A and B are shown apart, each in its own frame.
Chain A
């Protein structure tokens, strides 16, 4: 099993809809998780971090962590075309390294 695995994409949603991105992780990944957004040809930028079980909201973004199910998700409300990008889920290890998932390509169409 890969340490961090994202649900297969690509994902296409209409403008204004909720986009749901999911990620599962193995026992080798510790309890800090991050969602990065990467536009084509650019470097990843952090959009959310979550360390505790439950939900964390920041504007249109909500990260959810379920440690029992080893599952972390990102919800994007009121999706905009500018949200179209690759979203990377990453889990931290005890030595400070991050393990990245393979990414989910999101397209928001007008």
Chain B
């Protein structure tokens, strides 16, 4: 079983607030990812990291930012939340390595964000 944790699980906030979604993993994985998923829709990669001090934007443009100061921690921040940010945010991690089982991504339980 994967040990990757996301908090909070649910968040309802007002427009303009700054929020940080937390993601931590205890598996020592180098690679971490943030996905955004609307109900019934595809997973979209918005950020990823290959290790400490490494962050990259994903395939879907996002107004959020991320940081990777410690291997186990990959928080996502929205400086000023808007209703268009309402979605589910999923964090995942995988081992570093090539084309094999090390590519398997393990997901956290997700944060469901509602911006009013």
* Docked pose: A9 CA to B99 CA in angstroms: 29
Q: With A43-B109, A43-B110 in contact, is A30–B104 under 8 Å at CB?
A: no
Q: Tell me, yes or no, whether A62 is within 8 Å of chain B by CB.
A: no
Task: Name, among B101, B107, B109, the residue most crowded by chain A CB atoms within 10 Å (CB to CB).
Answer: B107
Q: How many A residues face the partner with a CB closer than 8 A?
A: 23
CB proximity of A31 to chain B, nearest CB, Å: 6
Q: Do most interface residues of chain A lie in helix, strand or loop, or is the interface mixed?
A: loop
Q: Tell me, yes or no, whether A78 is within 8 Å of chain B by CB.
A: no
Nearest residue in B to A90 (C-beta to C-beta)? B105
The contact of A88 among B43, B50, B99, B104, by CB within 8 Å, is: B43
* Docked pose: A34 CA to B48 CA in angstroms: 19
Q: Which A residues lie at the B interface, using CB under 8 A?
A: 30-32, 34, 42-46, 49, 51, 88, 90, 92, 94-98, 100-103
Known: A43-B107, A92-B103. 12 other contacts (CB 8 A): A32-B99, A32-B100, A43-B110, A44-B90, A44-B107, A46-B104, A90-B105, A94-B98, A94-B99, A96-B103, A98-B103, A98-B105
